[in-house]
Structure 1
Amino acid sequence: MDTPLDSAAEVSLDEAIRLTAPGTALRHSLDMIIAANLGALICVGDSDRVLAAGNDGFPLNISFTANRLFELSKMDGAIVIDRDLTQIMRANFHLNPDSSLPTTETGMRHRTAARMSLLTDAMVISVSERRQVVNIYVNGQSYQIRTVAELMTRVSQLLATLQTTRQTLDRSLLRLTSLELDNYVTLGDIASIYSQFELLSATDQNLQDIIAQLGVEGRTVEMQRMQLVGDMDHEYSLMIRDYASRSTVEEAQNIRAQFQALAAKNELDIKNIASVLGYEDRKEDSVMVPLGLRTLSRISVVREGMADKIVDEYGSLQELLDDIQQNPERLDEIGIRNSVILADSLLKMHGRR
């Protein structure tokens, strides 16, 4: 795509991808059109403005089916379908969009499609008879539909990257837990892990985009994705809260958005990470003190909300570890169930038992 879409256009494009994904009636029609070496121009939605931008053609108002759309594509002109894909309203319809509307397309069919998507809110589909490709137009921008084979090649690459990154991240988090329990975590340690989280997140988003394009063919891939990603989002948020100067859930979401923006520009370095976390005077070897939310969440008896309660009482993971041996009853006093198991688990993790 040439330029970024605004949020409304992004929603429209997502809807267009869903409607043309494998397994849908519209995609079945498009596959038949390609297989028959035909071309087509199809407008879906915003019917009033689409009809106002053309003339002639055959009024049909018949129920939409994949076979009917395929047969009608054998005629010249555009096919107009309502937004819900329930009725084919016109066939052999001659579109005349404003020729002054900007477009970088060269072929007549694609230029018309691009201009119609600028002039109306319709999803406009152009099937090239010569090149045998399908382009969707939203807000003047084009998106080319890929074949299942092409998409699966990309899926294999992304799954391999996701698996490798997840394995690296798991090892790093295991090491981080040991460092946290020993009270010797540096800014450099957490900066590298935030970068790994962002790589995993970006790869996962790319894979989700491909899965959306695969439609029914993407169900198995989605299960593989879920197995690899697991609870990444929750663990990432907890780690941000552990080290941010302000540890609220809302601030963690804001920090994560800033990390994502920095990663996209390849600027997620130690200085910027420290700044976003709320520290302007930290260096790579500066010692960072975790709250302990992430580590506590790994203990089976710590249920949802309990980690926050413990952190509010003790202030940091190290304070909790120091106090457990001297004052183990304190956990009971603040209403923590299974406090003996919790304390024993933490001490075992730290090697004190």
Structure 2
Amino acid sequence: MDSRHRGANDAMHDALARIGPGTPLRDGIDRVVRSKAGALIVLSDDPEVLAICSGGFLVDAPFSPQRVSELAKMDGAIIISDDGGRIARANVHLVPDPTVPTSETGTRHRTAERVARSLDVPVVSASEEMGVINVYAGGLKRQLQEVGRLLDRANQALQTLERYKARLEDAIDNLTAVEVEDVVTVRDVIAVVQRGEMVHRIADEIETMIIELGVDARLLRLQLDEIYTDINDEVELVITDYLPPHRNVDDTIAEMSQMKDDDVLDARMALATLHLGDVQLGDEIAPRGFRLLRRVGKLTPDVAASIIDRFGGLARLQRATIDDLAAVDGVDSDIAESVKETLERVTENTILGQYS
């Protein structure tokens, strides 16, 4: 979906994709649940997985939902090959590291979480009595939900995403206006960063639901792609415009991603991820101009960086003439005119927007 996906979410997404509705593995798990049996299925037959297997027997047969359903009637775990094409072993007793922490209470779910955490492999457990299906991957746990209920949740999340995106767009429009007038405060920047992170979190949760829904999520995918297009690029350019030279955008995004929701919504805590030094929310701050230069279609990132290096920031860049711009390496007269026209158009639209 975008370059900001975190490793843990990636692992969970991969696991959910393997057991989504319409897949043979999900068919097998659903058969187990319908038969009121439980199951513990490890989706890897790597040597480290086989090393913690005790007892059971070698199956080494092509995967089929029917085989999984039959093998689940025995108490032990089922080992599936990494590519999902074969059932490697069945009725095995798993002996994971007992010191690995787990929040589960049932024996099957505790074993599943410990195996997933200690070996970094996806594990699926289905409870015998409640029919609850849990997926463990990347240090995360997700309980699968009935398709209809999950679709309702996803549609509600899409409505929330639309509201948050509208707030983000308002914050971006406000930032553009104060940038043009050269009166940006730290608070204006943080408002965009905060709302951008919250939009990403909601979109990422919808992405997880879409993967979990499998073939039932085609319409949701189209809706999410329509709402979420280009949001991350815009927010990352805002961060690039205001970060100190020694800081990296990816580092700031990673730091923000580790924060709790309440902390993201705290302006002072969000400010700390930019590492701007001893500044207050009301202090003025100057943009470099990367975000507005991105609107110039002919401009490559390298040439944009050269322009920024020459003029040092958006304020001086706005006052530059076409001849000044053309003096920059890599900028010919056509590019110089495009840059000048784009900046003037942004200024004009911003002024008109204030009085519309």
Taking structure 1 as the reference length, what is the TM-score of the superposition?
Answer: 0.80
Out of 326, 331, 334, which is 2:325 matched to?
Answer: 331
Out of 314, 323, 342, which is 2:311 matched to?
Answer: 314
Identity of aligned residues (%): 28
Structure 1 residue 239, shift from structure 2 partner: 0.9
Distance in 1 between the 2:252 and 2:115 partners? 40
Distance in 1 between the 2:193 and 2:124 partners? 41
> Residues 54-203 of structure 1: matches in 2 within 5 Å?
54-55=54-55, 59-75=58-74, 77-91=76-90, 93=91, 95=93, 97=95, 105-111=104-110, 113-114=112-113, 123-137=122-136, 143-203=142-202
Distance in 2 between the 1:124 and 1:117 partners? 6
Using a 3 Å threshold, how does the CA distance of structure 1 residues 290 and 108 change in structure 2: closer, same or farther? closer
Distance in 1 between the 2:234 and 2:87 partners? 49
Distance in 2 between the 1:98 and 1:244 partners? 44
Distance in 2 between the 1:96 and 1:200 partners? 40
Stretches of structure 1 lacking an aligned partner (at least 5 in a row): 1-5
DSSP 3-state at the match of 1:287:
coil
2:3 maps to what in 1?
none
Q: For residue 179 of structure 1, what is the amino acid of its counterpart? A: V
DSSP 3-state at the match of 1:126:
strand
Contact 1:46-1:121 at 8 Å conserved across structures: no
Deviates more, 1:163-172 or 1:210-219: 210-219
2:255 maps to what in 1?
258
1:3 maps to what in 2?
none
1:21 lines up with 2:15 in the alignment: no
Contact 1:17-1:212 at 8 Å conserved across structures: yes
Q: For residue 266 of structure 1, what is the amino acid of its counterpart? A: D
1:239 maps to what in 2?
238
Distance in 1 between the 2:13 and 2:27 partners? 18
Summarize deviations over 1:152-188 as a string: whole Å, max 9, x none.
2221122112111111211221222122111111122
Structure 1 residue 268, shift from structure 2 partner: 5.6
Q: For residue 36 of structure 1, what is the amino acid of its counterpart? A: S
Bigger radius of gyration among the two: 1
Structure 1 residue 283, shift from structure 2 partner: 2.7
1:343 maps to what in 2?
340
Using a 3 Å threshold, how does the CA distance of structure 1 residues 281 and 222 change in structure 2: closer, same or farther? same
Stretches of structure 2 lacking an aligned partner (at least 5 in a row): 1-5
CA RMSD of aligned residues (A): 3.5
Using a 3 Å threshold, how does the CA distance of structure 1 residues 153 and 341 change in structure 2: closer, same or farther? same
